[in-house]
Amino acid sequence: MPVLLTYFCYGASAITSVALVFFEKDALGLTPAEVAEIGFWLGLPWGMKMVVGAASDHYPILGSRRVAYLLLGAICSLVGYAAMATVVQTKGAFLLTMLAVTVGFMIQDVVADALSVEVAENDEDLGQIQALGRMALLIGSISVGYLGGWLAGQIGARGVFAIAMALPLIVAVSIALIPRSDRPSAKIASENAPDSRRPLVIIVTGLGYALLGVLLQIFDVPYAQEIVLVVSGILIAFLLKTLGISRSVGVAAVVIFLFRSTPTVGQGYQYWAIDRLGFDQQFLGLLSQVSSVLSLIGLLVFRKTIVERPVSFTLFWVIVAGTLLYLPSIGLFYGVNEWLGLSPRMFAFIDTTISAPLGQLTMVPILVLIAKSAKPGAEATTFAIMASLMNLALSASELFTRYLNDFFSVTQQDYSNLGKLMITVGATGLLPLLALPLLKRQEAAVNG
């Protein structure tokens, strides 16, 4: 229950998604490129999961390996939401408070990931637990989908942020349900490790990486994001080597990194839909609701298949289907809905209905792959380092998104190049297919 409640609350944080769009657009006046820039920095805490994972495994707080860290994460998110609801008025303050929220959810996620491994008795249980975790996350999103949009229209963004403060409180209450762990202790894990200093190396390396990002941002160093991305990639690769993952897991990690690092359109599309098509908070909330419901249905229908089939199989058809189902969004910009006699809202609703089930399908095999490489007594560390690499890919995606938005000069004053941007994004989404043969050969070698 603590695992599922933590995932549920993270999914329910989607209650702020519509409010954030209007807050960034109207209250802060951010351009799509600036939103992508902020998204890059907000992605970095997820690359810090190995620090929290190693600390949770090997450095208990007041004797607690899980409870204390879960409480710490809840406090961070609570403070961030409270600031968003009251004092945030500038881009810098917005970044800092969103970082607090993000760090809080990241810590909670690390603990939930570790607990999910600890309660599984075998790989099949693990796969089912991860699938249930994704379902809990989606149910959280479903429960607030339309509500978040409706509230944003009724009480404004700050009111929604105030309501979101309830989510970390729920996580804090769930702490009472966590039993004492009977998994190997940190001492046993350290004795079994080739180098007992490994946890300290991981923590120091991760904190050094975080400090580098802060200093580069404070002193406004040119190409700060590019430097952080390269350095963090090298550090995570070093930590993975130190951890001793298998070649098959390493190859799969690289391919999945390429898949998750492809750029997106960014906020420009939603800005355009709001300004040109008149999409309001309630309608965007409805689209979010439909997307979450259909993602859950897709996960229920294909759960067994994606757990049993190779990762390369799932990635292949998700990439191809995702690209094909992206075409209606491009068509909406160019007025294809008018040729078909459909209103923009109806066309967008149909598009969301068709494409939404793909949303969560790739996450289950990724999570199972990561969890299988976890070693007894170091579940949080292993899971966190692998997950850090996956989340670093999302930061790379935000960076590439910023590049494209700057290149095509998409702003609230000029959406003329948005269509070209969308076509470029759709084409780049196919690039990970080039790496799938490598993953497939590695999977065949392991199975053989």
Give the pLDDT means over successive 10-residue stretches in the chain (448 positions).
91 95 95 93 82 84 87 96 95 94 94 80 70 84 91 96 96 83 44 56 76 82 89 78 70 81 93 94 91 79 73 83 89 93 92 72 64 59 71 89 95 94 95 88 68
For 308, the token pair is: 């049993």
- The per-residue pLDDT for 366 is 64
Closest to 379 measured CA to CA, from 169, 121, 113: 113
- The per-residue pLDDT for 115 is 84
Place of tokens 């600031």: 83
Q: What angle do CA 192, 56, 128 make, to 5 degrees?
A: 85
Query: Which class for 141: exposed (0-12), middle (13-18), buried (19 or more C-beta within 10 A)?
Result: buried
Place of tokens 């190396």: 201
- The per-residue pLDDT for 87 is 94
Look up the pTM and report it.
0.81
CB 326 within 8 A of CB 423: no
CB 116 within 8 A of CB 122: no
CA distance 98 to 92: 10
Closest to 76 measured CA to CA, from 86, 84, 66, 65: 84
Closest to 319 measured CA to CA, from 348, 264, 362: 362
Q: Is the alpha carbon torsion for 336, 317, 299, 301 positive or negative?
A: positive
In the chain, the largest separation of any two C-alpha atoms, in whole Å, equals 69
